[in-house]
A and B are shown apart, each in its own frame.
Chain A
Amino acid sequence: MATYNKFQDYAEQLNKGVHNWSTHTFKAALTNSAPVATNTVLADITQLSTGGGYTGGAGGGLALDTVTLSEASGTAKVTIADEVFTASGSVGPFRYVPYYNDTATSPADALICWFDYGSSITLATSEVFTLDHDATNGLWQLV
C-alpha cells in the first residue's frame, strides 16, 4: 500500500484559513522526484511534463472531482471520490503523488500531503491509474 506523508506547512496553512475543503479545488500531481516534508508549494515539486493526457506545470495534475468535508462528534473528515486517469500516451515514470490546493493564492498552490507508491510507474497508452481513496475513513481526519 502506498504510504502517506504530510507536508509540514499544511498544519500551519490549515490554521491560517488557507485551505477550505468545502469550496476549494484540490489536485493530485505526479512526480518521480521525492518530495520532502519541508516543501510548501507546488512550485517546489518537479512534476512530470505535459504529455499523454497529463498536464504539468502550475495548476497541473489530476483534479480531485468530489471532495467532501463532514463533521461528526467533533471529528472533521475529508473524503474524496476515487480519481481515475486514463493515459492517452506514455506517462511517467512517476512514483510520488503530491496533493495540493489549486485555489490557494497565498501561498500559491499550497501543498497538503503526498503518497509514495514505493516504485516508479510508467503508464502506456490507454492504461488506467486509479487513486483509490478510502470512502469510510477519508483522506484526512482532524480529531
Chain B
Amino acid sequence: MSIDITSRIVGKRVAAVLSNGHVLQIRTECGAELSLVWLDDNGVPLKGRPVIAESGVRLQARGIRDLIHMPGIARGQ
C-alpha cells in the first residue's frame, strides 16, 4: 500500500508516537492513526525505507450513564 504519510497527518496534532521495535505508530488527537514498518528491497522488515503498514481511523465510542428519574421520591430515601 502506498500512501503519502504527510498528507495523512499534516495539520493534525500528534497525540502519541508508539513503537515496539518493529512498528512505529503515530496517533493524532483527532483519532487518525498511522502504523509504520520498514522494509528492505527484498521486503525484509527492519531495513530500508519506511512504508505504511496500516492506516485508519479510531472512533472513541464513549457512552453515557442514564439515570432513572423518580420525582416522587425525595433525596435521601
Nearest neighbor of A86 in chain B, beta-carbon distance: B56
Q: Do B63 and A124 touch (CB < 8 A)?
A: no
Query: Which residues of B does A touch, CB under 8 Å?
Result: 1, 3, 30-31, 54-68
B65 — which chain A residues lie within 8 A by C-beta?
Answer: 137, 141-143
A65 close to B (CB within 8 Å): no
A130 — which chain B residues lie within 8 A by C-beta?
Answer: 56-59
Q: Of the listed stretches A34-42, A49-57, A102-110, A115-123, name the one at the interface; the rest are far from the partner chain.
A: A115-123
CA distance A139 to B65 in the complex (A): 9
Nearest neighbor of A87 in chain B, beta-carbon distance: B56
Nearest neighbor of A121 in chain B, beta-carbon distance: B57
Q: Do A140 and B59 touch (CB < 8 A)?
A: no
CA distance A141 to B68 in the complex (A): 11
Cβ distance A33 to chain B, nearest Cβ, rounded Å: 17
Query: Which residues of A does B touch, CB under 8 Å?
Result: 1-2, 4, 6, 11, 78, 80, 97, 113, 115, 117-119, 121, 123-134, 137-143
B31 — which chain A residues lie within 8 A by C-beta?
Answer: 1-2, 117
CA distance A117 to B66 in the complex (A): 22
Partner pick for B63 among A117, A126, A139, CB 8 A cutoff = A139
Q: Do A141 and B56 touch (CB < 8 A)?
A: no
B57 — which chain A residues lie within 8 A by C-beta?
Answer: 117, 121, 123, 127-130
Cβ distance B35 to chain A, nearest Cβ, rounded Å: 9
CA distance A131 to B31 in the complex (A): 11
Q: Do B56 and A137 touch (CB < 8 A)?
A: no
Nearest neighbor of B3 in chain A, beta-carbon distance: A124
Known: A1-B60, A143-B67. A127 touches B55 (CB 8 A): yes
CB-defined A-B contacts under 8 Å, sample of 28: A2-B31, A2-B59, A11-B66, A78-B63, A97-B59, A115-B59, A117-B57, A117-B59, A118-B30, A119-B30, A124-B55, A126-B54, A128-B54, A128-B57, A130-B58, A130-B59, A131-B59, A131-B61, A132-B59, A132-B61, A134-B62, A137-B63, A138-B63, A139-B61, A139-B63, A140-B63, A141-B65, A143-B66
